[in-house]
Chain A
Amino acid sequence: MRSLVLVFLPFLALYLQSTLFRAISIYGVVPDLLLILVIFYAVFSGSNKGAVYGAACGLWEDLYLGRVIGVNAICKGLTGFILGRMQGRVFKDNVLVGVLGVLAGTAINSLLLLSISFLAVPGFSLDRAVWADVMLQGIYNVIISVPLYIWYFRSSGAGVLQEGLIR
């Protein structure tokens, strides 16, 4: 069941990002639900699993976008790996873990994405609009992360994301 949910969630996240959240975007910026999912998974499951799940989710996004395959896979994989270091070092029952994790994860993922774009895309400039987008997305991600973290935490303890649960 847990595996099925973990496969279904990225699908759902991408769907919501491209439809519902586009309708309620703030200055054209939408939250990165997929990234939030990767961060939560990494925080709960550790670096190695976080990296694999992050890369898989990123690859899924790359395939959906149909642009440069691998960019999001690398960025989300690395973000999952780094955020996975939190596993075993923080009290996960505190919602601040989720909030700070998402804030840090958004910063890491954005920096990686911008670095790759800066190096690989000719004429790409890191202007004020880019940083404004990054900051706005960070704020949006943090706001969304609060209810999502509570759900994720509860589901991991005694819900659909509980390890070893057979339903």
Chain B
Amino acid sequence: MLLTALILLLVVKLGSSDSQGLATAERWVRNSYAPLQRGVDWVQQGLVQFGIRVLGMQDLSQLLEAEQARNQQLSLENMQLRETQAEVERLRALLDYKNAHNSQFRLEAARIIARAPNNWYKTMTVDKGADYGLTVNMPVITPEGLVGKIVDVSSNTAQVLLITDREMAVGAILQPTRENRGIVEGIGDGRLRMVNIPYYSQVQDGDPVVTSGLSQTYPPGLRIGTIRDVQKEANGLVLSAFVEPVVDFDRLEEVLIIKSFQAPSEPVNEGG
């Protein structure tokens, strides 16, 4: 009780308006709160600043998203343009080839729409068929060289047997030596093999191989591939060699079909 009364007296005493002590006490009390208040204020300010930053970041992130979307759109357009450009270049090459060989071949351009659904046959399906005058055994080419021949035709599609198929054989000639007894066969794994090359042949790696024209199915002079790895057969009478095709069959998208041809006086398509 006494202590309480003393404190009250002290407070009343100090509480007089002109008391210097009150100011001191008040300052002391206020000062004691000050760190906490500053802390609260700091937190409040921090929250406000955080809010501003978040809002700002939202704006920035919105901007970023918009820019990313625009970037994606532009990338897509760029990709489409590149695709279109590549297609234009391919079609221009086909057209140039067609114009250059107009006198020798009657050509029909076609787009590849499907490939063999299994791994045993090397075939592809093109988007033109009997309606465009295509028939079985017509040779299929690109400006680079021989692709294969048509083996089946429906009204609006045709199936092309590639020269890499195991059942395919094409009469071929070694361009530098003009030896024309060779036969190029598909071996099923994307490569070709030339067999029946005379043992005395001067064939060597890098020699170009073209169609001989002896089979009546293919016009002479169409490029088939390049000789790689010449080997002597077990009987010692003939040589054989792997042939690397000039056509990249995995990247084919359009082809030309030879509807009819005249035997040219000079081999065609030498040098592409």
Which residues does A use to contact B, with CB under 8 Å?
14, 17-19, 22, 28-30, 32, 34, 61, 64-67, 72, 113, 117, 121, 123-125, 127, 129-130, 132-133, 137
Which of B58-66, B78-86, B116-124, B259-267 makes up part of the contact surface? B116-124
- Provide 9 A-B residue pairs closer than 8 Å at the C-beta atoms, listed in order of the A residue: A14-B117, A28-B119, A29-B119, A30-B117, A64-B117, A72-B118, A125-B187, A129-B187, A130-B188
Residue B108 at the chain A interface, CB threshold 8 Å: no
Residue B190 at the chain A interface, CB threshold 8 Å: yes
> CB-CB contacts of B83-115 with A at 8 A, as 1s and 0s?
000000000000000000000000000000111
Query: By the criterion CB–CB under 8 Å, are B117 and A28 in contact?
Result: no
A65-B116, A133-B119 given; A18·B125 CB < 8 A: yes
Chain B residues 6 to 39 lying within 8 A of chain A, measured CB to CB, are none
Please indicate the chain B residues that have their CB under 8 angstroms from the CB of A72 in the complex: 118
For A16, the closest partner residue in chain B by CB is B117
For A129, the closest partner residue in chain B by CB is B189
**Which interface residue of B119, B189, B190, B250 has the most chain A CB atoms within 10 A?**
B119
User: How far apart are the CA atoms of A133 and B189 in the complex, in Å?
Assistant: 8
**Which interface residue of B121, B123, B152, B189 has the most chain A CB atoms within 10 A?**
B189
Residue B212 at the chain A interface, CB threshold 8 Å: no
Query: By the criterion CB–CB under 8 Å, are B121 and A18 in contact?
Result: no
Which residues does B use to contact A, with CB under 8 Å?
113-121, 123, 125, 151-152, 159, 166-167, 185, 187-190, 250
For A34, the closest partner residue in chain B by CB is B117
User: How far apart are the CA atoms of A124 and B188 in the complex, in Å?
Assistant: 10
Query: By the criterion CB–CB under 8 Å, are A113 and B120 in contact?
Result: yes
Please indicate the chain B residues that have their CB under 8 angstroms from the CB of A67 in the complex: 121
Query: By the criterion CB–CB under 8 Å, are B159 and A66 in contact?
Result: yes
Query: By the criterion CB–CB under 8 Å, are A22 and B115 in contact?
Result: yes
Query: By the criterion CB–CB under 8 Å, are B250 and A28 in contact?
Result: yes
Query: By the criterion CB–CB under 8 Å, are A19 and B188 in contact?
Result: no
Query: By the criterion CB–CB under 8 Å, are A17 and B187 in contact?
Result: no
User: How far apart are the CA atoms of A22 and B167 in the complex, in Å?
Assistant: 21
Across the A-B interface, give the 6 residue pairs with the lowest CB-CB distance, nearest first. Answer: A129-B189, A17-B117, A18-B114, A18-B117, A66-B152, A22-B115
Q: How far, in Å, is A93 (CB) from chain B's closest CB?
A: 31
Query: By the criterion CB–CB under 8 Å, are A61 and B114 in contact?
Result: no
Query: By the criterion CB–CB under 8 Å, are B250 and A30 in contact?
Result: no
Please indicate the chain B residues that have their CB under 8 angstroms from the CB of A129 in the complex: 187-189
Query: By the criterion CB–CB under 8 Å, are A66 and B151 in contact?
Result: yes
User: How far apart are the CA atoms of A82 and B177 in the complex, in Å?
Assistant: 55
Query: By the criterion CB–CB under 8 Å, are A61 and B167 in contact?
Result: no
User: How far apart are the CA atoms of A109 and B123 in the complex, in Å?
Assistant: 20
For B118, the closest partner residue in chain A by CB is A32
A22-B115, A32-B118 given; A65·B187 CB < 8 A: no
Please indicate the chain B residues that have their CB under 8 angstroms from the CB of A30 in the complex: 117-119
For B167, the closest partner residue in chain A by CB is A121
User: How far apart are the CA atoms of A133 and B119 in the complex, in Å?
Assistant: 7
Please indicate the chain B residues that have their CB under 8 angstroms from the CB of A34 in the complex: 117
**Which interface residue of B118, B187, B188, B190 has the most chain A CB atoms within 10 A?**
B118
Please indicate the chain A residues that have their CB under 8 angstroms from the CB of B114 in the complex: 18-19, 22
Q: How far, in Å, is B37 (CB) from chain A's closest CB?
A: 63
User: How far apart are the CA atoms of A10 and B92 in the complex, in Å?
Assistant: 38
